[in-house]
A and B are shown apart, each in its own frame.
Chain A
């Protein structure tokens, strides 16, 4: 799984109804869902909200899990650096890689937070 699909899978949990996905893949124009195809699906198919609960738990749980994992990465990096500096024989490359992985994880979390904030603010701006 390449990094982009990993991030996409995380940010948008599998909530698209399977029928809509199939309809989209069947259409001759890439990305467009023909109106007659939608009619074939029937009125009930699109009623499912996109924020349906994925099998793993709520989005809040996912976020909490992510924060914990980022914290674990930071601790691991700190331990590795400590091992190098105190002469405990931790190889330098492992400490460098741990540091970079912790930094990348943290960046991911920050970007997710930014996007969430952005979408919240956009929601609040919407005229009812």
Chain B
């Protein structure tokens, strides 16, 4: 396949990774108050783990100095224990609710969104540069 936009696969990988992260965050926020999930326990917050996959570059120098593509290696459950709050229906007893902090989730969401926008800008830029290259000699 012709690759006229160099590095486009790295950007595509980053866009996918950030999108997955935003989906996981949305899921966390949606389930912030789920006290009883399918397994009977409160919802366990999840997060994504990023890792780099080395991209093959022609004439590349090896592991250092080569462009790298990011990918989501796994979506794993947090091991934070559920919070305990007073049970509204049972005075005196405590209820376990998911340890999802909305502020933290929103901050992560904004970071992911910013990274997503930046990678989109890179793709746009690559296209503009390729179009410029095609005008050489005209």
Contacts and interface: CB of A to CB of B under 8 A. Distances in A.
On whether A and B touch (CB less than 8 Å), the answer reads yes
Interface string B1-33: 111101000000000000000000000000000
B130 interface: yes
A57 interface: no
Interface of B: 1-4, 6, 58, 130, 133-134, 136-137
Given A92-B133, A93-B136, A96-B133, A84 B4 contact: yes
B3 A100 contact: no
A70 interface: no
Contacts of B133: 92-93, 96
A44 B58 CA distance: 65
Category for how many chain A residues contact B: 10 to 19
Contacts, number: 26
A56 interface: no
A54 B116 CA distance: 66
Interface string A75-96: 0000000001101110111001
A92 B135 CA distance: 11
B134 A89 contact: no
Given A84-B4, A96-B137, A99-B137, 17 more contacts: A84-B2, A87-B1, A87-B2, A87-B3, A89-B3, A89-B58, A91-B6, A92-B4, A92-B130, A92-B134, A93-B133, A93-B136, A96-B133, A96-B134, A97-B137, A100-B136, A100-B137
